[in-house]
Amino acid sequence: MWPAGFQFVVFPAPAGKALLHPALLWLVLMASLTISCGQQTDEGAQGEWLRGTQKEKLSTLERQLRGFDVAMVEMGYRYQELYWAGVEKNWDYARYQVEKIALVMEWGLERRPRRRASAEDFLRNALPPVKAAAEARDSIQFLVSFDSLTAGCNQCHAKEKLPYFAVRRPLTKPSPIGK
């Protein structure tokens, strides 16, 4: 059970929006558990890395979450999952991945708003046709729109002067999730 005096603090999130990025939520939860459980550890031991004033702690968390590169790691995973979901005709999972890709992009852009201009075309033009194909349960439309999505990824990377981040269709399936 929870230690005496332990409290969960819950803040209402706007309708349809998550309050915290899952990674940030995890960091905050771990920090809260360490503090509220009254753990006494040696200098530099696990659980003691989040120090200073509230502002300093938030700065540390921001640094840990970093910028857009962390979002792109998740994006790569979801991109692959999206592809295999469409190939396997797991349309609900494909729609789920499209929604998560949009969310990851938005959260990444929240951290790095200067990248929005490059990402707008992707969000507005490359992603919706893939969602429409998944909703239509149309394999051919899905593959055509997925290839356009891939081109959109590469166009965005080129706009950001990162053309060596060349995206292509996945060759192997990274996860056991399937239909």
The residue among 69 and 32 whose pLDDT is bigger is 69
What span, in angstroms and rounded, lies between the C-alpha atoms of 132 and 161? 30
- The percent of residues above 70 in pLDDT, for the chain, comes to 74
The residue among 92 and 25 whose pLDDT is bigger is 92
Q: CB atoms < 10 A from the CB of 71, how many?
A: 23
Which pLDDT band, with edges at 50, 70 and 90, does 34 fall under? very low
What span, in angstroms and rounded, lies between the C-alpha atoms of 170 and 83? 7
Q: Domains in the chain, start-ordered, CATH in brackets?
A: 22-38+48-65 (no CATH), 68-159 (1.20.120)
Instruction: Tell me how many degrees the CA angle 64-65-71 measures, rounded to the nearest 5.
Output: 150
Verdict on whether the full-model pTM lies above 0.85: no
pLDDT of residue 179: 81
Each residue's pLDDT tens digit, 37-64: 444 444 545 677 888 999 998 898 888 8
Q: CB atoms < 10 A from the CB of 39, how many?
A: 12
Dmax over CA atoms of the chain, in Å, equals 59
Each residue's pLDDT tens digit, 117-137: 999 999 999 999 999 999 999
